[in-house]
Chains A and B, each alone.
Chain A
Amino acid sequence: MQVTVTVNGQEVTRDVEPRTLLVHFIRDDLLMRGTHWGCDTSNCGACTVWVDDEPVKSCTYLAVQADGKSITTVEGLEKNGELDPIQKGFMECHGLQCGYCTPGMMMVGRALLDKNPHPSEAEIREGISGNICRCTGYKNIVASIQWAAEHPVSTEASEVTA
């Protein structure tokens, strides 16, 4: 079955079996390995990507369902060689250790800030509650998202790239 999606701004068309999970489509067909998977039951959030700017768990989403939609993955966070504030925040605040949950965490964190630029600690904790991390105990992930909230991309920079 043919699927056309826009991935990180680029349109791609591939022939896939209808049963292909979106996470496998991204990893095995598009060869973008930044999106991980950690469970099979949509509990861990390691596979989180955006479909039309909403975070979804790509292990519980068929690639064919994304036909005609836009997908954003961790590889799409960096713009023009500049890391997104969420990426910088994770680095500044030691928000990652093994790095496995990190892409999903950053996709959720970025989406949260896009909706709510100044979340409280409680809102951040609620926001990432569908993403499991085994390394950090979450404290530094919360701090990383707070850091990103405090260091948004400046309007000036956005205009330059626009």
Chain B
Amino acid sequence: MQTPAPVDYAKATSVAHAIELLQQLGDEARPIAGGHSLLPMMKLRLAAPEALVDLNDIPELQGVRIEGDHIVVGAMTKHRDILESAILHEHYPIFREAEHVIADPIVRNRGTIGGSACQADPAADLSAVGSALRGTAVIQGPGGTREVPLREFHDGPYMTVLEPTEVLVALKYPIRPGAGSAYEKVERRHGDWGVATAGVFVVVRDGVVADCGIGNAAVGAEHYCSPGAEDALIGQPATEESFAAAAKVAGEQCNPSADQRGPVDYKRHLTTELTLRALRRAAAASQGA
């Protein structure tokens, strides 16, 4: 079996403690959340941090709550808790739909929303969801707390705007009364990363799309979203034609690369197809269907 290289380890008991540990341990220290990306990379010796700062036992990073007109999800909230969250499901069924197709139940017992965001895998489902919902990352560092829109949080594949001594503490999503949301994903096998995915919310008022957010993972969409498709849809009648036109833009504007999951033409097609399917369902939900 593969084994990690030698590493130091410290368990943080609070966010402040975690930041302090990261400062002490230096640039080669890394926070560890669920570890389901980091540990396999360490076993493959593709990652060799000198020290790990464990965030798993920090109570303040856990849980889903409502603060004003936002839903706030602690960065160390586990996939399973997101899947089971009544709050998230009430406002955004997209979370449960996405969680059902993320990895498997045992991995979901351990993997976290913040870990997923910080890993910044181009196929991360929750990153597409977060971008679609125009959420915000709450980041804490030695100098205090800052907020970054999720559409600016990722600097590219496997890169984020986090400084080495900063910790992602929460993700915030604006509550949008009347919004419908949906997640669509095609994978080669249950539990696999997506070939393409689409996560959307739609607010339909008087038969017109008043607001929407369109996220796509695994297809090279910058910041996991398709603003072009959103622009094409907002203000349009909530019809099949409008959805198809917007979905077509999502397929055209993403930037997939060929790999064993599929060739580029297929991934573009799939982005369009899944975006269309998600828009249909989200719009229907918004209209109370």
Enumerate chain A interface residues (CB-CB to B < 8 A).
1, 17-19, 21, 23-24, 37, 40-43, 45, 48, 54-57, 59-62, 64-65, 67, 108, 126-127, 129-131
Contact = CB atoms under 8 A, between A and B. Distances in A.
Given A42-B40, A45-B104, A129-B191, A60 B35 contact: yes
A129 B40 contact: no
Contacts of B63: none
Given A40-B40, A41-B40, A62-B9, A130 B1 contact: no
B1 A19 contact: no
Given A40-B40, A67-B11, A18 B110 contact: no
8 contacts: A19-B42, A21-B39, A40-B40, A59-B1, A60-B110, A62-B35, A62-B39, A130-B106
B36 interface: yes
B267 to A, nearest CB: 23
Given A19-B4, A37-B1, A131-B106, 11 more contacts: A18-B6, A19-B3, A23-B1, A40-B43, A40-B44, A42-B39, A45-B104, A56-B106, A61-B35, A62-B39, A65-B54
A9 B109 CA distance: 22
B7 A19 contact: yes
A41 B68 CA distance: 40
Contacts of A130: 103-107, 191
Nearest to A68: B57
A52 to B, nearest CB: 10
